[in-house]
Each structure stands twice: as structure tokens, then as C-alpha cells.
Amino acid sequence: MKVQISYNLFQRSVLLKYKGSSCGFHQSTILRTDSEGKQNSKGKENSTGSQRDKVSAAKTKSKTDRANIKKEAAVPHSAKLEAAQKRLQALLKEFPQEETIETKINLVRPKSKLQKKKADKISAIEAAAKGVADVLKGSNEKDAVKQELLARVQVAERGLPAYDKEELLGAITGLKARVRQEEENKRKAEEAIKAKEVEKAAAVKQKFGEKKGDEGKKFERRAGAYQAGKTRLFEAEPLGIFIDSQGKPILTPSGLKSGMATWDAAKERALQMCVLSLPANGFEEMIQWTEQGKLWKFPIDNEYGLEEEHNVGFHEHIFLEPHLEPWCPKSGPVRHFMELVCVGLSKNPWLTIEEKKRHILWFKDYFTEKIDLLKETHAVDEAAADQLTKPLEIEQ
């Protein structure tokens, strides 16, 4: 921004002269403003120097003017005007005309600090690098050195190496190659270690395997744990968890048996629940119950469960004395008792024939137990006793 300071100075000085004593305006302030403007500017030294001289001149003049003012206080108005005009003219001559001073005024604007920094750094360091490169003139390595320097500088400052495409690719492939190599090295190292261990184990085994008895076995077990090459899964003896003593697998209808009875039962039940279809409605429920025997079959028949008795005739139920014949004495208290029993059974509609037979034959066994007592009490004589105790022939 170009500012015509001379004119401003002139104006102020003029104002001073006019106002001087009355306003009491201090001259030093004006001078300060002028000096500030000059400091900011990056103008020529000559101009600044000249200005300073003029300022000092203005200072002195202003002082002289003060004195003059006091003198002229008594002078009338027209004379004052003339004097002023003269002074104006003199001043105009002294000041350089149409001198424009370019000043840079720092207006407040957003500036990126990074850019500023980078700009600064690049400018400084790159220039240095270039200088160094220039020193090595004439050699073929110049460009290479320069590039290297530049690259390193850039890496240091920005953190971004300026690679060419080819360089990048080369770097990547180089990386890959490096990684592969490293992996291979690792593998080799591991293999070497393994091989060493195997050798050790073999050596130990050899050494101690020759010992007889338990010690040799011990070392066999320890040293032979790792064997290079295959792993053998099915060569060891089976533990026999799921096999019977006979070698058959322990199987429940659902699967393998565990040693826990409750667990097995619960498992079976769970599987049955999965398979069984629960009754969808009341009819199905009643069918289930009837099959289980919880529900009577309708229409109600008193002889449900006694279907075989239909085939048996009533004479077998009533005439039970044939069952007494082989063993029971023909007279005496025993006979009397047994006939009563038969009468009672013949009148019983609820027992089956088998049950009646059993009933009668039980008494035979009971009396054979108590035969001694019966003999003592003379309920049974000797012959009858023999007949009683005689075991029945199995009739088929």
C-alpha cells in the first residue's frame, strides 16, 4: 500500500503551526507515528534517512516555530497569513515531491504455519544440498549423490520420501524378498534345533536303553516321546473305556454307556421324549392311558384281565377234590379241614384255577412241616402221615 507520508507530515506540521499554543498538541506523538510507519516499511535507505533528517528538521523547525509563534502573537491577522504562506512554500520546496514509499503493512490474514515452515526449510536445506552436489561437479555420481541427499533431506523434514514408481516397486519387492528370506532363516533355525533335540533323544535312548529293568524302561518312556517324522495314532494300546471285558462295546439302546445309572436313565428318557409324539388332543391322551392300563376299557366288563378263564369250564372250579386225592388222608381232622377249604374255594368266583390249586397244595406243604405235631396230637396215624409227606408226582 502506497502512502504519501510527505503530504501527511506537511499537513500535521501546518496544523501545529496554526493550533500550536491554543490546543497544546504535543509534537512528539506525531513524530512517533511517522517513525513507526518508517520502521514497518522496507523502502530504500535513502528515503528513510532523508525522512528522518526532515523529521528532525521539522522538530527543530517546530521549536523555532513555537518561538516565532510567541513573537507573532502580537502581529495582526493579515500579516500572519502572509507569513504562513511563505513558510508553506519553503516547506514544500524542502520536501521531496511525489515520493512514494512502498510499505508493507501487515494485515491480519490466515496463514498456514506449515507452509511457511516448509517453504523456509526447503529453501534453506535444498539450497545447501544443491550446493554440495554442485561441488562434486564433473563426476558421474553427481546426480546420484544429489538425489540421495535430497531424498534424505526430504525424509528428515517431511517424512515422505519422494520415490519414483520404479523405485517404489523395487523397494516393495526388496521387502518381500527380505521377508521371505527371514522366514526361511527362521524355519532353518527351527529345523536345526529339532534335529539337535532328536539327536540328543536318540543318544540318550541308546545310552540308557541298554540298561535292564525299570531304569531302561523309564528312559525309553521319556526319551522316546518325540520321534521325528510321522505321528502314529493307532499303534498304542486302547484304554478300553467303552469296551466290555469280552471286547464288545458297551451299548445302551441309545448309545454308549457311562458308568452312571441315573445319567443313563435320564439320557434314555430324553431321547424317548424326542421320539415320542405327545398327545395332540384329549382323545389321543385317553388312548395312551388305555394302552398303559391307567384307563379302563369301555364298555366296562368285569372280566377284563381274565380272558383265559372263558376257556375253563365251571366243573374245574367246583370239583376240587381230585386235587386232594394223592396226598390227603381219607378220614380225620385233616380231611375235614381240606374239604371245607375246597367248598370255600368252589364258591369263590374271583380266583383262577391255578390260584385254587396252589392254595390247596400249599396246605399239603404246611402239614408236612407240622407232621410231627399232628402225630403227637393223633390227628394223623402213621400210614396217613407217610401218605401226606410223600412228594407228589408231577402230572403233565
Catalog residues that contact other proteins under the rule CB under 8 A: 333-334, 336-337, 340-341, 359, 362-363, 366, 370, 373-374, 376-377, 379
Q: Taking the complex as a whole, how short is the minimal distance between the CB of residue 236 and other proteins, in angstroms?
A: 53
Q: Taking the complex as a whole, how short is the minimal distance between the CB of residue 262 and other proteins, in angstroms?
A: 22
Q: Which of 367, 271, 361 is nearest to 324 (CA)?
A: 361
Euclidean distance between CA atoms 251 and 258, whole angstroms? 9
Euclidean distance between CA atoms 268 and 255, whole angstroms? 9
Q: Taking the complex as a whole, how short is the minimal distance between the CB of residue 370 and other proteins, in angstroms?
A: 6
Instruction: Read off the C-alpha cell for 183.
Output: 522366514
The one-letter amino acid at 184: E
Q: Taking the complex as a whole, how short is the minimal distance between the CB of residue 266 and other proteins, in angstroms?
A: 24
Q: Taking the complex as a whole, how short is the minimal distance between the CB of residue 359 and other proteins, in angstroms?
A: 7
Euclidean distance between CA atoms 277 and 263, whole angstroms? 23
- Closest to other proteins by CB, 223 or 388: 388
- Closest to other proteins by CB, 175 or 340: 340
Euclidean distance between CA atoms 375 and 368, whole angstroms? 11
345 and 351 in contact (C-beta within 8 Å)? Answer: yes
- Closest to other proteins by CB, 45 or 372: 372
Q: Taking the complex as a whole, how short is the minimal distance between the CB of residue 328 and other proteins, in angstroms?
A: 13
- Closest to other proteins by CB, 379 or 388: 379
Q: Taking the complex as a whole, how short is the minimal distance between the CB of residue 337 and other proteins, in angstroms?
A: 5
Euclidean distance between CA atoms 169 and 114, whole angstroms? 30
- Closest to other proteins by CB, 151 or 371: 371
Contacts of residue 329, Cβ cutoff 8 Å, sequence gap at least 6: 335, 380, 381, 384, 387, 388
Euclidean distance between CA atoms 54 and 50, whole angstroms? 6
- Closest to other proteins by CB, 110 or 305: 305
Q: Which of 22, 12, 10, 11 is nearest to 73 (CA)?
A: 22
Burial class (CB in 10 A: 0-12, 13-18, 19+), 16: buried
- Closest to other proteins by CB, 191 or 301: 301
